[in-house]
Each structure stands twice: as structure tokens, then as C-alpha cells.
Structure 1
């Protein structure tokens, strides 16, 4: 059994433990609040990162599309540049042939053709005498022979002119593709810059998210430790209360036993009085009634 001093110490211990539990509970609530705050921050950063990842995927898709466009424009530009080089080489060969054909000849082929056309037209318009018309006709024949003899030069000139026009057209197309290529490359640089900025931002946010997660884990661990302390103190209070209750019950049982023993002694004395036919008091009668009831 506990002595009064021990009992008082136990009660005082319970008071101290309850105060400790109160303080621990307050610390637990603070730690819990911090834990929730860091968790919410972590989740908020997670959503923000997810949004940026979706955005950077779109930018990457656009970059890939622009890269394909750049490659196509380069191929088209290079194709026309190659064509221009081939045509220039071809026109050089034609010019060489023309120079070779013109050596030793001062014939103006186009002038001859114009002469033929003018003479033929004059015959149609003017009513020449037979002799003069015959002379003009003879001249036309000679001019036509001279023209036919130099027709290769005309063809070379026409071919050279056509190729020259084709060179100009191909150059213009190549220049147009080059301009589009420059514009697309500038656009690509802007998108590349956006991609790098998004990548950097995602990296920084992930670092921040990791810090918040570490803080969350610390607070969670602190909450678990405080809960364990609180439970330990509560169990200690319950144990002391149980010990005091058990001691009180034991004392009550002893008191009951002592009371029963005292009553039993009194009943014995009253019965002795009856045997000796002594006069019973009111208290004696009450004792007998209580004994009969039991």
C-alpha cells in the first residue's frame, strides 16, 4: 500500500505530467501546422512544375516543327542555288560556242531576219514591176540562205536568253527561300530562348520543391516524436492513476474487513448476553438484526 506521502507524490507527479502533456500538445499543433504548410507548398510547386512541363513540351514541339521547316527551306534554297550554278555553267558553254561561231563572221542574224520580213512585206504592199519584184525575190532568197546558214547562232542566242531568264528566276526563288530561312531561324532563336528559360525555371522550382519536401519530412518526424512523447506521458498518468485506484480499493477492502470483524465481535458479545439472559440495549438489537440480514 502507498503511504500518504507516496500518494501525494503520485498526485503531484500526475499534475506535472499533465502540464507536460499540455505543452507537448501545443508543440504538436505547431509542428502539425508547419507540416501542412510545407505539404501545401510542395503540392503547389508540383502543380506549377506540371504546368511548365506541359508548356515546355509544346515549345519543344514547335521547335521541332521549326527545325523541320529550316531543314526544308535549306534544301529548297540549296536546290535552287545548285540549279543556278548548273545554268551558269551551261550558259558559259553556250557563250563559248557563240564566240566560236562568230569568229570570222560579222553577220547580224537578227538584222537579216528583219530585212527578209521588210522585203516580203514590201512585195505584198507595193505593186512592183515584174523585173523589180524578181530582183527583190532573188535578194530574199539570198538573205534566207544567209539566215539559214547562221540559224544555229540564233538558236544559241535564244537558248542563252532563256537560260539567263531561268537563272534570274531561280536566283529570285533562292533569295526568297533564304529570306524565309533567316526569318525562321530568328523565330527559332526566340523559341530556343523560351525553352531555356522554362528549363531553368523548372529546375529552380524542383529544387524549391525538394526543400519543401525535406521540411515536410522533418515536421512529420517531429509530429511523430511528439505524439510518441504525448502517448508515453499519457500512459504514465494512466499507470499512476491505476496504482492510486488499486491502492484505494485495497484500503477500502481492508476497512470493510475490519468493519466486518468488529461487527462479528459485537454480535458475539450480544449473543453471550442472550445466553446469560442479560438485558439487551437498542444498539444490541440493531446488531442482531444486521447479523440476521447478512
Structure 2
């Protein structure tokens, strides 16, 4: 019984081994012409397969690079758009701040007034002036005071239907009756000169005809007196930066730095003091 079981397992195993051996022998013993053809075709076929694989990989990489380049261009355009929007928002924010300061004064004064934009500015030329986009058609006329967000700029010197020229405080033809805010002493403010060594390259004005014993000191605030019939009382002008006594020892002079940097002004407020004009015509 045991011998029969052994034969049952052994014979199939031997048959399988013989079959595998014959198959291996037949594979190695393919006809010579088949082997010759295989040896002739196999290298080019291998090369073509490798070349095809390489070209597919290169094409895929190229397509990927094209896609990446397009994505980069799209991202760059998007970033530039965002930067432009941020710059515009910042400009609008700054403009709103400047207009808010002007609006505060507009609401506080009883004098009729209107807003205007600066369309040209020459604060450092021979004639210190700026041009605004309001004129006779808007109710602007000569001698009307002009303010910036921080203080007095000057007065209307020329006017046309569409525009007006503002004579700035530091022009040699400018003269304003002013007060020292602290001591209430009166003086005449006249045009000075551009001083690049000062902070922000500010322009200078000068106070003249101060008494030798005047109670003034550096840092004092200067405002309009209202006595010249052009500028209303209390408009902020600037601060005293330097004091000197004349050679005769009778009068003192003082350099004044205006609160406004004339070169940076973009919006102004025009005080429409019509009743003063009618008196002076």
C-alpha cells in the first residue's frame, strides 16, 4: 500500500521534470535562421524602444515646462494686478486722509469754501506758485486765501475761467499780517528762500518788524492776524526756527518754516471771501 502511494506521487513528478527539460532544450535549439533573424532584429528593436521611451519622457517634460511657464506668467500677471490694486488703494487712502483734514476746516469755518486739485506746481522756481483746477466759473477770484491740509499756502494771484494761480507764502511778492500765537505779538510775514538742508526741503518765510524786545522764541507757532483784510484770523502758518537782531538793533527778524510742504500739496481749500474783494475793488 505504501509502495503504491509512493509511485502515485513519484511518477507525475518525473513526468513534469522531463517536460520542463524538453521545453528548455527546444527553446535553446531554435532553428538557425530564427536565431539569426532574432540577432539581427533585436538590437534595433531595443534601440527604437529606448528612443521611443526617451522621446515620450522628453515630450512629457516639455509639456510640463510649458504648463509651468504658463502658470508662472498667469501668477505674475495676478501678482502685478494685486500690486496695482494695493497701490491704488493706498493712494485713495492717503487722498481720503488729506481731504478729511481739509473737510474738518471746511466744516469749522463760516466762510464759504471749495475744494480744488493742484494741476501744476512750481514751488522752487523764480515765481513760487501752483495752479489749481478751479477758476471764475467756480466762484474763484483774486486774493482768495488758499489752504492745505496742515496750514496756509498763499492767495489767488491770477484767475481764468477754468484755472487759478496761487501765489505761495515764500514768494518774494507775498506779504501776510501774522501773530505769534503764544505772545500775540504782531509782525509781517514775507517770502524767503528754499532751504534743502531743512527737513523735507522746506521753504522759508521771514517775519519782519518785530520789536527788539519782542517775546518770541524758537518753536513758537505763527498764525494769521486777520488785520490785512485778505486772510481771516487764526489760520496756521508755521513755526519759528531762527531768530536774529538787525544791525541797528531796533527790529528782530525770524525764519519761519511753513506747516505745509508746498512741493507735496495735491489738494487745496479755497476760501471764497467775496465781501473782502468787494471792499478792495
Tell me which structure has the larger Cα radius of gyration: 1
TM over 0.5: no
Judging by fraction of residues, say which structure has more strand.
Answer: 2
Judging by fraction of residues, say which structure has more helix.
Answer: 1
Does 1 or 2 have the higher relative contact order (CA < 8 Å, sep 6+)?
1
